[in-house]
A and B are shown apart, each in its own frame.
Chain A
Amino acid sequence: MTDERWARVKALFQSAVERAPEERDAFLAAATGDDAALRCEVESLLTSDLSDIGVLDRLPVVSASVLAALPTSMDPTRSHTSLAAGLRVGSYEIVAPLGAGAMGEVYRARDTKLNRTVALKVLPERFALDPDRSARFTREAQLLATLNHPNIGAIYGLEESNPSTGSGQPAVQALVLELIEGPTLEERIGSLSVTEALTIARQIADALDAAHQKGIIHRDLKPANIKISRDGVVKVLDFGLAKVWDGARQSDVSLSPALTGIDLGPRTVLGTPAYMSPEQARGQSLDRRTDIWSFGCVLYEMLTARVPFAGDTISDTLAAILDREPAWAALPATVPAAARTLIRRCLEKDARQRIADISVAQFVLDDVADVASATGSGNAAAIARRPPMWRRLAILSGTWLVGVAMAGTAVWFAVRSTAPPRVSRLLITPPSAAALSVGVTGHSLAITPDGTRVVYVGANNTALFVRALDALDATSITGFSDSYGPFVSPDGQWIGFFEGVTSLKKVAITGGPAVTLGRPGGTAIGASWSTDGTIIFATNDRTTGLHRIADTGGDPTVLTRPNRTKGEDDHLWPEILPGGQAVLFTITAATGGIDQAQVAILDLRTGTQTVLIRGGSHARYVSSGHLVYAAAGRLQAVAFDLARLAVVGTPVTIHPEVPTNAGLALAPDGTLVYIPGGVSPLARSLVWVDRQGHETPLPAPARDYAFPRLSPDGTRIAIYIPDQEIDIWLWDLARAKLTRATFDRGVDIYPVWRPPDGRQILFSSVRAGGVNLFAQAADGSGDVTRLTTSPNVQHATSVTPDGTRLVFAEISPTTGQDVMQLRLDSTHAVTPLVQTPFNERNAEVSPDGRWLAYEANDSGRFNIYVRPFPDVSSGYWQVSTDGGTRPLWERNSRELFYLSLTGALMRVGVTPGRTWAATAPTKLFDGQYGASANQSGRTYDVAPDGKRFLMIKAAGSADQTAVPTSLVVVQNWREELKRLVPTP
């Protein structure tokens, strides 16, 4: 039962029980509606309430002799329930007991390192004290811990420690398990629909499949060992523990786990060996077909609410297993024929006749689900959970096809195999304790070659996280000081990574101690692992290029050096191509920045280097036959002939921006993972600040924002972001969406909206020469219009309220910065407004069109001045008294704002009239808001209602908003790539 469900039951019971018994029926009927199960549950409690038999009043008395005979001190390892809340076992803090299991007591515990809740299964003392058993158990537990599947309750590890410091008590040995909140399948049986039962069965089959592929047999599959988590995911528990238990006890092999490893609770004391296979009942050796039998038993019980082989005594039950057929007639008529056949084939008493591989059950149950969905009664969750097509095809073999055909699902195979895999996207957001650490130079993430697990660096570079894409949580490998730059071995079993500049290390993807392989000799910038057991990496040491080291460790050897005579600066970001005979890398240029970089290939057989792409970097190979690389701030792809090691065809832009620090990883199977959003260390956030200084953040990503300008209708913000390309972007306030508005490779800066309708954005741009003025439609349609051609730098600052003139600052070699205006008609005529030998800039025409406010430094520092407009020579008033920059009018022209020299937002009240009349300046709030870089433009705006200000907040070190928090995973991205960039 889920917490929410219980909360409802509890609330209804408590309401109902307060009423007179005769009123309860009507109340419950009204309160539960058509939820019969809910009503039934509440009614059963009401019945129990009436028939109170005093369960809690009849606790046994304690015999004084028993008490006196208790051990003289509390020994946590001696008693079954001996660990109290608050006690610590290693880094785990006991929260509460969960129950007694075959292996000992189970506790809810807190993992204080990772701040998560786990289940701790504490082993009996006699177990921990026997070195042979203990060692054997450790080995088995390590094998089981490699099971990583969303439908298998994970074993995180083994904890051996002293439960309380300094107490001198013996060590506690405990298994650290995934804690799954929710009922067991045992509790759900009887309340399952056929569809639910089949959906659950499909997930159990997935769990068995994953384990069997690793050679692990469950041996004790039963409803009590299967949990249904709060979000409906089925989790099979205690995988293989029966064997561990058995082996460790060195017990009589004929006593199978179902008979010996029994829970001490009353229900399971009476537990029968109902789920044992015939070979198990006979004490014969077991293989995975014993699990298939038990799977059939569980499926049968889910559908019929009765065990297939029952008896009053254990021997009767064993007899039924060995000799009798289940009551097939008990299966509801609605159970599909294919599922009936499946159960029969699972419950063949002769293991040789039985289905030999659980994948057959997976196929059949998929088929059944498809039929169900086609008839409108399907379970969407069941279908969505299906693994990708390629995986299912990969495990299909001839033998199993026979089984598939028997179950009547060959048609499914024929029809489905023609459809390409669907591209799907998912977001991974690590919890804040495990927040992503994004490196500036190296890659911060990696993906296993089979595309099933993403590796990323987190928790301030102290941990590596491994997130199975089909799991809900990442597992962590902790204990590092400065880990970065992860990469994965070709078999997906190891993570290579760097720690500081001193160590290149590897660690098993399932965790464990890290092994130092060698010294990288600098900050690593890219690494790749070959199938032949070598690792190629690059560092920031510009005297060397690529390095090679054996994956067993040793001294790295220098593979390439940058050729200074060719203008090469460094060789970075190596990626070994399939086959291991060539490595892709980036040659950075001594001048010209990343735009002048080249993608090159080094043939490891001949040692020859060939440039593949000029103006590109960060190349990766995708098995669809493409190279994906960064070029001019965009993600490009081009077809690539792996045999000839040559680019074929034309590059295509596949994404308008490159992920943060090229933070992307590609698996050969076509799974892409990247860190969305370009984030630089200069990232800032947008905030609303009211007149009292109270902040409300906008939900915009942290970027290196500057010069925000609200559209005339207040629905959009035009804003300058220089972090990827230097462009103008639009933030849509209603849709909370950031889109790029300008796309030129040059600098686009100082956006202003053209009133009154705001359909046009005017801006400064470095296109074909100097910084001149341009215009384009705000919706991105149409062409960019060049408004001026001048050798002088021109900064757009405002547009007159009628939209006829653009006011801008021009930097003249003779008169410095001057305030100019441009007619926004076909003449594009430019005339000066305020032109003196001093600097005048950031001029803004008041919304009523009567005044021009600007800043000028004729007093030796910048102050705010106002002149009449358009007749600017008829008057001249100083507004600020103690310096000021970046003036801005309130939209009713009754107020003028500006920034003090310390960045505080100042306000001046303006009295309407023909002559200038204003109040003395007062401060609204202090200036913790970023006045961007060294550029002079206005760094804030006022909302149309004048009640709040749009400010840019610098992201301090403690400001989490500046850190990218999520990873995007695109499964089957290869399909998208094939569509966008056809290969010849």
Chain B
Amino acid sequence: MVSPRNVTALLGDWSRGDRTALNQLLPLVYAELRRVAARQLRSERSDHTLQPTALVHEVFIRLVDQREVDWQNRAHFFGVAANVMRRILVDHARRHGASKRGEGVRCLSIDEANDVAASNETPVLALNHALDRLETIDAELAKLVELRAFGGLTIEEAAHVLSVSPSTVKRDWRTAKAWLTRELGSDIRP
């Protein structure tokens, strides 16, 4: 049985360098995300959608003992959760895309591609792919984007996770946005 205390302890272990703690932590975060979603479905609200960042925060509140966790572990948690969130979104986008196009044929026609481009959302797969490319030239920037975009971390929180100053995070965030805008611009502009 997982208690908030367990998660807090795992975060502590992980921040002290115990990598196996992360392996135990990821499924917990994942499971909690699902539980939050299920609860949402049972609620009376008509809008059954969640902002990814809000979702991550809700999971945090539910999983981690607020009195026990320190600032650093909080940051670590969001680092993990952002990564889980990203993978959920990417996985979903892939499944969704695959079912729409049917199995086996993975090629989009130009028309279909235009459909994607015309939608108002940033395509998750495009962003994911661009982040993968960014990872190869600047892993820190890619991590920052993951934390901010998928984990909803503030500048200060991201600074703590990445062990750099908030002013560096601000500069890097602007750089990353410019880079991603350039890389994705042609894909998502109508």
Chain A residues engaging chain B, CB cutoff 8 angstroms:
1, 3, 6, 10, 13-14, 17, 44-49, 51-53, 55-56, 58-68, 70, 72-74, 79-82, 84-87, 93, 96-100, 108, 164, 167, 181, 183, 251, 259-260, 262, 264-267, 269-270, 312-314
Q: Is the CB of B188 closer than 8 A to any CB of chain A?
A: yes
Interface contact B150-A265, CB-CB below 8 Å: no
Q: Please judge, given known A-B contacts A68-B41, A72-B34, A80-B91, whether A14 and B175 are in contact too, CB under 8 Å.
A: yes
Interface contact A53-B189, CB-CB below 8 Å: yes
Interface contact A59-B127, CB-CB below 8 Å: yes
Which of B23, B94, B108, B122 contacts A56, CB < 8 Å? B122
Interface contact B34-A264, CB-CB below 8 Å: no
* B148 neighbours in A (Cβ, 8 Å): 56
Which of A44, A51, A73, A266 contacts B123, CB < 8 Å? A266
Closest B residue to A41 by beta carbon equals B182
Residues of B50-82 contacting chain A, CB below 8 A: 50-52, 55, 80
Closest A residue to B52 by beta carbon equals A62
Q: Is the CB of B163 closer than 8 A to any CB of chain A?
A: no
Most chain B C-beta atoms within 10 Å of own C-beta, residue among A52, A60, A84 = A60
* B178 neighbours in A (Cβ, 8 Å): 13, 17, 45-46, 48-49, 52
Shortest beta-carbon distance, B132 to chain A, in Å? 4
Q: Is the CB of B13 closer than 8 A to any CB of chain A?
A: no
* A3 neighbours in B (Cβ, 8 Å): 137
19 A-B contacts (beta carbon < 8 Å): A45-B178, A46-B178, A59-B52, A60-B121, A61-B51, A62-B37, A62-B49, A63-B48, A64-B48, A68-B37, A70-B33, A70-B37, A73-B31, A87-B23, A96-B135, A100-B132, A183-B137, A259-B107, A266-B126
Shortest beta-carbon distance, A525 to chain B, in Å? 45
Q: Please judge, given known A-B contacts A6-B137, A67-B50, whether A264 and B41 are in contact too, CB under 8 Å.
A: no
Distance, CA A80 to CA B132, complexed state (A) = 14
Interface contact B37-A314, CB-CB below 8 Å: no
Distance, CA A3 to CA B93, complexed state (A) = 31
* A63 neighbours in B (Cβ, 8 Å): 48-49
With A60-B122, A62-B92 already in contact, 9 other A-B pairs whose C-beta atoms are closer than 8 Å: A60-B124, A81-B90, A81-B128, A98-B135, A98-B136, A164-B23, A264-B125, A270-B108, A313-B110
Closest B residue to A272 by beta carbon equals B107
Distance, CA A93 to CA B22, complexed state (A) = 13
Q: Please judge, given known A-B contacts A62-B88, A79-B87, whether A55 and B48 are in contact too, CB under 8 Å.
A: no
* A93 neighbours in B (Cβ, 8 Å): 19
Distance, CA A100 to CA B125, complexed state (A) = 10
7 tightest A-B CB contacts, nearest first: A67-B37, A265-B129, A99-B132, A48-B182, A48-B181, A49-B178, A64-B40
Interface contact B106-A269, CB-CB below 8 Å: yes
Shortest beta-carbon distance, B98 to chain A, in Å? 9
Distance, CA A275 to CA B115, complexed state (A) = 26
Distance, CA A673 to CA B91, complexed state (A) = 52
Distance, CA A72 to CA B38, complexed state (A) = 12
Interface contact B108-A55, CB-CB below 8 Å: no
Which of A64, A85, A96 contacts B37, CB < 8 Å? A64
* A56 neighbours in B (Cβ, 8 Å): 122, 127, 145, 148-149, 177, 180
Shortest beta-carbon distance, A190 to chain B, in Å? 14
Shortest beta-carbon distance, A367 to chain B, in Å? 35
Distance, CA A218 to CA B125, complexed state (A) = 27
Closest B residue to A18 by beta carbon equals B171
Interface contact A269-B22, CB-CB below 8 Å: no
Closest B residue to A70 by beta carbon equals B34
Residues of B18-49 contacting chain A, CB below 8 A: 19, 22-23, 26-27, 30-31, 33-34, 36-38, 40-41, 48-49
Q: Please judge, given known A-B contacts A55-B122, A84-B26, whether A262 and B177 are in contact too, CB under 8 Å.
A: no
Closest A residue to B35 by beta carbon equals A68
Shortest beta-carbon distance, B58 to chain A, in Å? 12
Shortest beta-carbon distance, B187 to chain A, in Å? 5
Closest B residue to A98 by beta carbon equals B132
Shortest beta-carbon distance, A117 to chain B, in Å? 12
* A14 neighbours in B (Cβ, 8 Å): 171, 174-175
Shortest beta-carbon distance, B172 to chain A, in Å? 8
Chain B residues engaging chain A, CB cutoff 8 angstroms:
19, 22-23, 26-27, 30-31, 33-34, 36-38, 40-41, 48-52, 55, 80, 83, 86-94, 104-110, 113, 116, 120-129, 132-133, 135-139, 142, 145, 148-150, 171, 174-175, 177-182, 184-185, 187-189
Interface contact B88-A269, CB-CB below 8 Å: no
Interface contact B107-A64, CB-CB below 8 Å: no
Distance, CA A1 to CA B150, complexed state (A) = 26
Interface contact B38-A68, CB-CB below 8 Å: yes
Interface contact A99-B129, CB-CB below 8 Å: yes
Distance, CA A787 to CA B59, complexed state (A) = 92
Closest A residue to B22 by beta carbon equals A86
Distance, CA A99 to CA B41, complexed state (A) = 33
Interface contact A55-B184, CB-CB below 8 Å: yes
Distance, CA A381 to CA B51, complexed state (A) = 53
Distance, CA A93 to CA B92, complexed state (A) = 26
Interface contact A17-B113, CB-CB below 8 Å: no
Interface contact B181-A52, CB-CB below 8 Å: yes
Closest B residue to A47 by beta carbon equals B182
Interface contact A96-B139, CB-CB below 8 Å: yes
Closest A residue to B86 by beta carbon equals A81
* B122 neighbours in A (Cβ, 8 Å): 55-56, 58-60
Interface contact B49-A81, CB-CB below 8 Å: no
Distance, CA A70 to CA B110, complexed state (A) = 30
Interface contact A264-B94, CB-CB below 8 Å: yes
Distance, CA A51 to CA B181, complexed state (A) = 8
Shortest beta-carbon distance, B7 to chain A, in Å? 15
Closest B residue to A14 by beta carbon equals B171
Interface contact A262-B52, CB-CB below 8 Å: no
* A13 neighbours in B (Cβ, 8 Å): 175, 178
Distance, CA A265 to CA B184, complexed state (A) = 12
* A74 neighbours in B (Cβ, 8 Å): 26-27, 30
Which of A10, A96, A269 contacts B138, CB < 8 Å? A10
Most chain A C-beta atoms within 10 Å of own C-beta, residue among B30, B31, B149, B175 = B175
Q: Please judge, given known A-B contacts A56-B177, A59-B121, whether A67 and B189 are in contact too, CB under 8 Å.
A: no
Shortest beta-carbon distance, A457 to chain B, in Å? 32
Distance, CA A264 to CA B132, complexed state (A) = 12
Distance, CA A14 to CA B168, complexed state (A) = 10
Which of A1, A17, A45, A312 contacts B182, CB < 8 Å? A45
Distance, CA A133 to CA B110, complexed state (A) = 33
Distance, CA A49 to CA B181, complexed state (A) = 8
Shortest beta-carbon distance, A85 to chain B, in Å? 7
Most chain B C-beta atoms within 10 Å of own C-beta, residue among A63, A65, A164 = A63
Shortest beta-carbon distance, B149 to chain A, in Å? 5
Interface contact B177-A52, CB-CB below 8 Å: yes
* A65 neighbours in B (Cβ, 8 Å): 37, 41, 48
Closest A residue to B38 by beta carbon equals A68
Which of A68, A81, A85, A96 contacts B22, CB < 8 Å? A85
Which of A17, A62, A100, A262 contacts B55, CB < 8 Å? A62
Distance, CA A251 to CA B106, complexed state (A) = 13
* A72 neighbours in B (Cβ, 8 Å): 31, 34
* B48 neighbours in A (Cβ, 8 Å): 63-65
Which of A62, A82, A264 contacts B87, CB < 8 Å? A82
Which of A64, A270, A312 contacts B49, CB < 8 Å? A64
Shortest beta-carbon distance, A447 to chain B, in Å? 36
Distance, CA A736 to CA B178, complexed state (A) = 50
Shortest beta-carbon distance, B173 to chain A, in Å? 9
Closest B residue to A259 by beta carbon equals B107
* A6 neighbours in B (Cβ, 8 Å): 137-138
Distance, CA A73 to CA B34, complexed state (A) = 9
Distance, CA A53 to CA B190, complexed state (A) = 12
Shortest beta-carbon distance, B143 to chain A, in Å? 8
Distance, CA A181 to CA B116, complexed state (A) = 31
Which of A46, A48, A64, A80 contacts B50, CB < 8 Å? A64
* A60 neighbours in B (Cβ, 8 Å): 89, 93, 121-122, 124
Distance, CA A500 to CA B128, complexed state (A) = 52
